[in-house]
Amino acid sequence: MGFSSASPFLSTCSSVSIKLNPILLCSRRRRLPLRRRYLSVAAATVNNDVFTSPDKSKSFDFTAEERIYKWWESQGYFKPTFDRGNVPFVVPMPPPNVTGSLHMGHAMFVTLEDIMVRYHRMKGQPTLWLPGTDHAGIATQLVVEKMLAAEGIKRVDLGRDEFSKRVWEWKEKYGGTIINQIKRLGASCDWTRERFTLDKQLSRAVVEAFVRLHEKGLIYRGSYLVNWSPNLQTAVSDLEVEYSEEPGTLYHIKYRVAGGSRSDYLTIATTRPETLFGDVAVAVNPEDERYSKYIGKQAIVPLTFGRHVPIISDKYVDKEFGTGVLKISPGHDHNDYLLARTLGLPILNVMNKDGTLNEVAGLYSGLDRFEARKKLWSDLEETGLAVKKEAHTLRVPRSQRGGEIIEPLVSKQWFVTMEPLAEKALKAVEQGELTIMPERFEKIYNHWLSNIKDWCISRQLWWGHRIPVWYIVGKDAEEDYIVARSEDEALQIAREKHGNKVEVYQDPDVLDTWFSSALWPFSTLGWPDSSSDDFKQFYPTSVLETGHDILFFWVARMVMMGIEFTGSVPFSKVYLHGLIRDGQGRKMSKTLGNVIDPLDTIKDYGTDALRFTLALGTAGQDLNLSNERLASNKAFTNKLWNAGKFILQNLPKQTDISAWEAVMAYKFDNADSLLGLPLPECWVVSKLHMLIDAVTSSYDRYFFGDVAREVYDFFWADFADWYIEASKARLYHTGDHSVAYVSQAVLLYVFENVLKMLHPFMPFVTEELWQALPNRVEEALVVSAWPSTCLPRDVNTIKKFENLQALTRAIRNARAEYTVEPARRISATIVANSDVVSYISSEKEVLALLSRLDLQNLLFTGSPPEDANQSVHLVASEGLEAYLPLADMVDISAEVQRLSKRLAKMQTEYDGHIARLHSPSFVEKAPEEIVRGVREKVSEVEEKLTLTKNRLAFLKNTVLVNE
């Protein structure tokens, strides 16, 4: 039978509701043994040199974290197991640079991915977290070159092979630093599957990908304008260029009009005058009347011995910027390059790859670009062609790795044609094959892929994957090259074309690091051998979690490559997190001195507190990290520890087998057993069962911030502040010890489940506490079964206990208002109808304990007491009231005197404020906010006066009645 719309009973997991008054039940998706236990008289600690019980330590010792982690790893808990069946859950780690050291960005992704992995492992899925490191071409080469420079050695002195050997030596010595630090955060990766992007298997995948893309005509070579790093001597990706606002100069220069008088000239404004040697035109807006008469004529480029360039018109020119005249230098400006290609203008390159000017610059040839700029301006001043220079804020492009200013430069590079790949990646999101979280990032993803440029994949480095292209000695490299999977294959192809005496040499460039990273999810699982066990079992992967700042660097490219080479999207979900900022919301930087080191944080607050703090954020949103937040969550760790200590200290003795049999006899997974519990126990178990459903749902939707808040609130407010305190009424019962069994069973049951729900967030303290609990069947919390969902809960009991809570709060507030000493027990009369009186009075010991009432003078009745006019009257909720005899709470005469003095002082303060408001000179001359503040103060004091007068009148009336 279904419920009517007015029914208070709801089903949370099934579309069909069954009335089992007064218990809420719902169908279970999965039924695991709720309390699989065996009777044991010994504590359950697996290894005493690894774990420390709360009853032996005042607080959780952070130094135990590394011991616990090594124990997990040694037991093989991080490896996926198929003994429970289910669909695998796989997360590919964003491989950190092998040069890296731990920062808060790493801490964020490790925390979130570990939460996902630990949760799904406990859910019974074969769970794999794929770890690895990236060879980081530019960054690693920079590190080793600096190391060699300290020895007075340049890489060119060593040669390519010897330099590569030195890099590998450095990698073997220092490359594991970041991995060890990630382990310190608790990352439960399967380290037996750790991969490095230059491993043999991954390198084979890179070559295969290049060859296949070339065979499809999607890889080509050409000379195009790229971002060039003069110091590194390599092209860098658009995505690896960071722009910063910096002070600079805007130079105004005269360009004389050929054939005109001395007054016929155009003034251009440029921030890089040294590029004028590469000018191929001067452009004005066709609607700019100032310069219309010059359109079609020639301009003379300064200091070039009279070289002429055409004066053209184009709407691209902004009339309002600078002078409204634009020099077109397509070899050194991305916008000019596009305009030149559209208009068919030539392209001049005036710069060498080391940032010096070449022979096109004439007398300035060989000068560094910045030195040339100074000399050029000096010469322009001497020749009368310098108009002026003025301060100007520049948007400076800098290399993300080296920090130097990037130079746009025409260079011969290898490119991937992206448009056909992007189309498939767009469809993957459109058709629901790929979900991006938060959803708002879909628009950014779609915009980038819809406007994608071809990808420059070659880098002029020595560290990385060599481009699998070979040239024939003595042949034109422009026309005759071979793409092959190996040198032997290339040589065989060359011999078939040109005879057996032919020789080949490999392209010196390497591939962009992001090219190999784009193959990461499937190459780590064995691709191109798609028949490997790992590939068949774990591909496609489940979730890619990463920062939203590399949505294009990595995520979109992986999607494109995955679809291209495997026919499917490499993961079903992309979860994007935001940046970590300081407590004031500022981006962390060494310049500001606000960088928070994760390892230092762990020493001070523990890994669990750091992880819990990081996970409280919302997906995609930046998180402000402060010491206050960390301290608060360290306190939460201590609260868990103290709760565990309390529970362990109040369980039966290990040798009391009959007591343990009685405790273990309590069950909580069916309606009858739940209804058989006393009010506080039924309430907390019902609330727990509701929490399990809510938390499981939040985990499944990747709402990790909600999970953290939901468990935190339940544990601290419901369990610790209310139930643990209420349980003392039975635990400290002076009579029959069996009274305590139900509370002991509930304490253990609730605490176990709280530990399970918190474990993905706070793995160390929860495992330490778990190991201290007696009578467990599961050896380790990390591989324990997730709590069953859709367990019974009693709505009526929850409402009843909420009434008891409301009554307790009202009495506590009254005690505080009348400053009753904490140890003082007071009398009380509880007034309610018979039903309410019945269940409240059945827990009078709990009420007396929580409210500090005198149990011998605690009455329950249906009508007010005779001395009601001499009592403090409290209304806890509708139909539930309390009367507290005033004489029990306060010395009435002393309180009357105290309040009378207080009233007089408040009246004087009030009169002073009123006098100011009645003064015209104050109201008219004082600032408006000051007058408003006084008026607000008057309202505040009026309210206090009224309350104090009422209370004083009540006390005086009580004195008269007593007399």
Residue 736 vs residue 101, higher pLDDT: 101
598-609 pLDDT, tens digit each: 999 999 999 999
Confidence of residue 31 (pLDDT cuts 50, 70, 90): very low
Residue 713 and residue 766: Cα distance in Å, rounded? 17
Structure tokens given for 885: 């005899």
Any residues with CB less than 8 A from the CB of 690 and at least 6 apart, and which? 12, 793
Confidence of residue 14 (pLDDT cuts 50, 70, 90): very low
Question: What is the predicted pLDDT for the residue at 45?
Answer: 46
Over range 379-391, report the average pLDDT: 96
- Give the H/E segment covering residue 961: helix 928-962
User: What backbone torsions phi and psi does residue 483 show, to the nearest 5 degrees?
Assistant: -100, 120
Question: What is the predicted pLDDT for the residue at 518?
Answer: 96
40-62 pLDDT, tens digit each: 434 444 566 899 999 889 999 99
Question: What is the predicted pLDDT for the residue at 638?
Answer: 97
Tell which phi-psi region holds residue 900, choosing left (phi > 0), alpha (psi between -120 and 50) or beta: alpha
Does residue 4 register a pLDDT over 50? no
My answer on whether omega of the bond before 864 falls inside 30° of 0, hence cis, is no
Pair 245, 393: CB distance under 8 Å: yes
Question: What is the predicted pLDDT for the residue at 46?
Answer: 54
Confidence of residue 27 (pLDDT cuts 50, 70, 90): very low
Least trusted range by pLDDT, from 36-50, 91-105, 344-358 = 36-50
Among candidates 875, 796, 783, which has minimal Cα distance to 832? 875
Question: What is the predicted pLDDT for the residue at 679?
Answer: 97
Does residue 15 register a pLDDT over 60? no
DSSP state of 724: I
Question: What is the predicted pLDDT for the residue at 644?
Answer: 97
Least trusted range by pLDDT, from 127-131, 578-582, 693-697, 743-747 = 578-582
Residue 225 and residue 61: Cα distance in Å, rounded? 57
Q: How distant is the alpha carbon of residue 738 from its chain centre?
A: 48
Task: Please work out, in degrees rounded to the nearest 5, the angle formed at the alpha carbon of residue 459 by the alpha carbons of 514 and 513.
Answer: 20
Over range 629-651, report the average pLDDT: 97
Confidence of residue 30 (pLDDT cuts 50, 70, 90): very low
Structure tokens given for 580: 């970590």
Over range 701-705, report the average pLDDT: 96
Q: What residue type is 154 in one-letter code?
A: K
Q: What residue type is 508 in one-letter code?
A: P
Over range 906-934, report the average pLDDT: 89
Helix (H, G, I), strand (E, B) or coil at 266: strand
Over range 755-781, report the average pLDDT: 91
- Give the H/E segment covering residue 335: helix 334-343
Among candidates 217, 178, 214, 531, which has minimal Cα distance to 206? 214
Over range 76-97, report the average pLDDT: 90
Question: What is the predicted pLDDT for the residue at 953?
Answer: 81
Confidence of residue 35 (pLDDT cuts 50, 70, 90): very low
Any residues with CB less than 8 A from the CB of 845 and at least 6 apart, and which? 729, 730, 733, 855
Task: Please work out, in degrees rounded to the nearest 5, the angle formed at the alpha carbon of residue 606 by the alpha carbons of 604 and 609.
Answer: 110
Does residue 22 register a pLDDT over 60? no
Helix (H, G, I), strand (E, B) or coil at 44: coil
pTM for this structure?
0.87
Over range 944-960, report the average pLDDT: 77
Over range 209-238, report the average pLDDT: 94
Question: What is the predicted pLDDT for the residue at 78?
Answer: 98
Residue 950 vs residue 935, higher pLDDT: 935
Percent pLDDT > 90 in the chain is 77
Question: What is the predicted pLDDT for the residue at 16?
Answer: 32
Question: What is the predicted pLDDT for the residue at 897?
Answer: 80
Least trusted range by pLDDT, from 1-15, 24-38, 274-288, 504-518 = 1-15
Question: What is the predicted pLDDT for the residue at 39?
Answer: 40
Question: What is the predicted pLDDT for the residue at 316?
Answer: 85
Over range 617-643, report the average pLDDT: 93
Pair 562, 522: CB distance under 8 Å: yes
Does residue 28 register a pLDDT over 60? no
Cα first-last separation, the chain: 64
Structure tokens given for 820: 């009753």
β-pair type (469-472, 407-416): unpaired
Secondary structure in 3-state letters for 514-561 = HHHHCCHHHHCCCCCCCCCHHHHHHCCEEEEEEEHHHHHHHHHHHHHH
Among candidates 227, 204, 213, which has minimal Cα distance to 516? 204
Does residue 20 register a pLDDT over 80? no
Any residues with CB less than 8 A from the CB of 847 and at least 6 apart, and which? 804, 807, 808, 830, 840, 853, 858
Pair 426, 127: CB distance under 8 Å: no
Looking up tokens 């779609």 gives 446
Structure tokens given for 154: 């340049």
Question: What is the predicted pLDDT for the residue at 307?
Answer: 96
Question: What is the predicted pLDDT for the residue at 17?
Answer: 33
160-204 pLDDT, tens digit each: 999 999 999 999 999 999 999 999 999 999 999 999 999 999 999
**E strands present in 583-655:** 623-625
Over range 919-924, report the average pLDDT: 87
264-323 pLDDT, tens digit each: 999 999 999 999 999 999 999 999 999 999 999 999 999 999 999 999 999 989 998 889
Among candidates 269, 274, 265, 267, which has minimal Cα distance to 293? 265
Any residues with CB less than 8 A from the CB of 501 and at least 6 apart, and which? none
Does residue 23 register a pLDDT over 60? no
Question: What is the predicted pLDDT for the residue at 553?
Answer: 82
Percent pLDDT > 70 in the chain is 94
Residue 175 and residue 820: Cα distance in Å, rounded? 64
The number of CA neighbours under 13 Å toward the Cβ of 588 is 18
Confidence of residue 775 (pLDDT cuts 50, 70, 90): low
Residue 608 and residue 769: Cα distance in Å, rounded? 13
Q: What is the mean pLDDT of the chain?
A: 91
| CB environment 618-655: b (16+ within 10 A), e (fewer) | ebbeebebeeebbeebbebbbbbbbbbbbbbebbbeee
Q: How many CB atoms lie within 10 A of CB 743?
A: 27
Over range 894-905, report the average pLDDT: 83
DSSP state of 293: G
Question: What is the predicted pLDDT for the residue at 857?
Answer: 95
- Burial-class residue 868 by CB neighbours within 10 Å (0-12, 13-18, 19+): middle
Q: How distant is the alpha carbon of residue 73 from its chain centre?
A: 25
Residue 134, beta-bridge partner list: 97
Helix (H, G, I), strand (E, B) or coil at 363: helix
400-452 pLDDT, tens digit each: 878 899 999 999 999 999 999 999 999 999 999 999 999 999 999 999 999 99
| CB environment 493-509: b (16+ within 10 A), e (fewer) | bbeeebeeebebeebeb
Q: How many CB atoms lie within 10 A of CB 775?
A: 19
Pair 884, 874: CB distance under 8 Å: yes
Does residue 24 register a pLDDT over 90? no
